[in-house]
Structure 1
Amino acid sequence: MWTKRFQCGGRESALLDCRSSSSTRNTCSPGKAVGLTCSEPVRLVGGDSRCAGTLEVKHQGQWRPVRHSDWSLKTTAVVCRELDCGSAVSVRESIRPPASPVWKIRSSCFQSGYALRDCVSPDVSIYLLDLTCSDSVRLVNGTSLCSGRLEVKSDQSNQSWSSVCEADFDQQDAEVVCRELGCGAPSVLQGALYGEAEAPMWTKEFQCGGHESALLDCRSSGSTRNTCSPGKAVGLTCSEPVRLVGGDSRCAGTLELKHQGQWKPVSYSDWSLKTAAVVCRELDCGSAVSVREREESSDRSVWWIRSNCVQSGSALRDCGMSADFPFILNLTCLGKTSSS
């Protein structure tokens, strides 16, 4: 064991630069050795709230933005959790010339369980990463970012996340939550679908009209609920609309995905027939026949979706990010075969 007491002022650059006591310690009680966790500062700046903006990481004492590379909503969700924000809503590239020092963080490294700092390397770029997380609602333990047990956070709940009782939540409330998270319309609303809730529980009934942009914009009842029967916490699944347009049938054409209420085409990148087969099955269109690229005359707003992420079983939306590209993905599926 170290035999002297450290007497740092806190400004020193190294522990052994600190003064230490002249007296020595020969023993230390079992279980009393120092355990220490240093924070890994991360923040979103320039957005409408602390849960939106350009991603910045502090490394070696220096804040730098993170460069856009191969990130997706699935990767963004890890940052949202670290910031104690809600679900991942959007991730996109922003172009900020001139080129300046940035941190490059590989998505594959971060998703494999390493800390952001462990995945950092210095770089210079004009392509920065802008993220948006929801402020006060999230879906947890779901099969995708658009499904899970609903949790809500507000100033009145001491900034803790609370589950919502099924009896205090209806279809119109669900429409608001799905819209706030950038997902499609609600498709399943059922208690205990995504595990039992832990305390605390939200104490008031939501009374949304269905048109609000955020759940906490809705009116709520004056009465409060102190208990909720086991298995009655709200489980919600929002749809993730996908379609093929402009082809000879509904099973052929440009692949489009609806996100935050807007249909966008998917960009052509590393897709294969194996990846296309996932979309064909989702559309009930049989097998994949062809995957090809169509070039537009200029860049347009698209979804860039990594093929390997889709093949791993993740939802299309979870594997995507917004970008600007001229190369659009066209798919042809066999079409639904009729049974004899």
Structure 2
Amino acid sequence: LIMFIDTRLPLCTSPIGVQIRLAGSGSTRCSGRVEVYYNDTWGTVCDDDWDFNNAKVVCRQLGCDTAPSAPQSAHFGEGTGPIWLDNVDCSGSERSLSECQHGGFGRHDCGHNEDAGVVCSGEICLQIRLAGSGSTQCSGRVEIYYNDTWGTVCGDSWDLNDADVVCRELGCNTTQDAPQSAHFGQGSGQIWLHNVGCSGGERSISECLNGGFGTHNCGNSQDATVDCLGKKTVFLDKCSGRVEIYYNDTWGTVCDDSWDLNDAKVVCRELRCGMALGAPKSAHFGQGSGPIWLDDVDCSASERFLSDCQHRGFGTHNCRHSQDAGVVCSEMHLGSKIRLAGSGSTRCSGRVEIYYNGAWGTVCDDSWDLNDATVVCRQLNCGTALSATESAHFGQGTGQIWLDDVACSGSERSLSECRHRGFGTHDCGHGEDASVVCSGEKTFLFMRFCFFS
């Protein structure tokens, strides 16, 4: 069905917060067919009046560099579904496509053979630092470098999840606090980010939702800060391996005297590596070198950090490196990828799929409930969980079934923190694939940028 513009209607601007993406054959993160998310559906943009200024705004909004071209005529292939925008008219200075004039959502005289595209010259890369009065390497005012200028982050919506990501990105330990209101003093100049929305599982703030560069309603009195607990003090290789402690500017090992699963649980939790599956002894992962920092470690399993557990004191031991302690955790990383898929799925409802060991797989619905769905919805920034549907409600998946008997309390920040049987261990078929229906996504624009340490 083709809809025609009533030329008597004035041009309008779209609401703030409309998301965009690039898709199609041959697309990359910074080139492709322009698609707009509106009314819970992705749709395309007609190429009538599509020009370099429009493409420039799209590239800026997506965190990509200058647009060298604005291809028309479905250069990246024809899209499907609605054509949301036509006669888009940007001056080139707008910060998002939502600020440009157009004929109104769904009003067009186009077919998908006229889908508009962009080719941007590349991804913009940012640096991140902590600054301000009393700041240290792991605490201070959060600042990012963009467009040749250091600027701050607004504290609106800033929370422990956001701070956790910054601490992790800077190589610091878990967040102790996420103060707002310029706790480390006010910055100056630009405020680059606003309404940052991390789930806490991202490996970089570049993976978090935000309101777009330079778009804010804040003053520097609201500058966001972090207070991390210091440089990482526990190390493992990919969530299993020999446990090493950083103390007195030196990495050292842990003696396996009294080492048990409770101790391993604390290590896995501290590193956000899921459940502890084993607590091997006798240098199972090879002998370390240098100091042996801890001996006779005695955790109850409820401690937040290994340093909170009882032990003989740093450097006090009667061990050799042949007794180095190790752990085996269930996960590769808290930030394991998760997505919703299947027939009739949207960004915030669908079949739950996990990316593990280089492949996407599903979750079995045994014991699946609203607590589990709550964690998935939170991790995806999709609001509250409305239902935890079972029996392949959104269609059966294919390939691996990665998780079974998932048991979340509902407070976890990632599905990887919940109890389960272990990756790939299940007694299910895809007719039991689990799914969720969430209330809806936050109205932040998605923007990604890379980080050089």
More strand by share: 1
TM-score (norm 1): 0.44
TM-score (norm 2): 0.35
